[in-house]
Amino acid sequence: MALSQGDLQQSLTYLGWALEQTAGDPEHEALLEQIIQSVEDPLDLVPLQNPMSHVQAALLAYILAGEREYEDAFDLLLQALQVQPESAFSHWAIRWLQVPAAQAAIQPQHVMHLALSLLRDPPHSHAFARLAPFFLEYIHTHPEDWVILGMVGALLQPAGRSEEALPLALRALEHTPHWQTAHQVALIYADLQNIEQAIHYQQQAVELAPEQDEPLQDLALLLWEHGKLEELTTLEERYPHARQRIRDARDRLTGHSQQFKTNFSTPDKSW
């Protein structure tokens, strides 16, 4: 017996909640396609409610993408990702962007939200490797989009592409000095083993936002790890409000180092 439209809508909603964690899973997406193909107009499967849940928005986006309505699909999908940036729905955007028609339809605000979604959720950031050509082409054709420029630099660095990330991050920092951008430049230089420049830009990040813990702690670790004890003492004196956090960061590094030395130097007599 064929299911009623109400039953199909309910089945689609239940499947949507599962897909929030498993989007990209072949078995679940086969079920999704089966439901969509079972009706004359798939748009009837998602009731137009106000407000619409993020799962309903993602499902409607999927249906619209299947009909090659990519601009509206990106609008809806990125609304869903704003509510749940860690959801697996971002895999759909990554897949769509392999299609030239989707690349032509995407708008600057879509690019920003997609990059932000990837940045917020490190487990999904590996997907950036597939999107790197698209993002790099985007900033080539939109060189004035400094926000995206900085985001792409931030995505390239953990993807093991620090040499490409560096000029982008430096350009973003030059245009809009911000502690997070300076901090990102420092991390890239550290990846490239240019410790002096890493320290310089970490110091710049601290100067831009001395109330932020992350650049202070990372600067303290860099100074301690590379034997710059006078500079570390100066840092503690200059930012007394953060002295304990700086020392905590240093002590963590010292503890890890000492544990390694102890484990390494203790002979294994079990044989």
Q: Rounded CA gap, 171 and 204, in Å? A: 15
Q: Are 16 and 22 in contact (CB under 8 A)?
A: no
Residue 265 confidence class, pLDDT cut points 50, 70, 90: very low
pTM: 0.65
pLDDT band at 202; cut points 50, 70, 90? very high
Q: What digits encode the pLDDT tens for the residues 61-102?
A: 999 999 999 999 999 998 888 888 778 888 888 888 888 898
Nearest to 73 by CA among 86, 84, 85, 62: 62
Which 8-state DSSP code applies to residue 177? Answer: -
Instruction: Write the pLDDT tens digit of every residue in 221-240.
Output: 888 888 888 888 888 888 88
Token pair 């920003």 is found at 112
pLDDT, residue 69, reads: 93
The domains found in the chain, sorted by start residue, are 1-125 (no CATH), 177-259 (1.25.40.10)
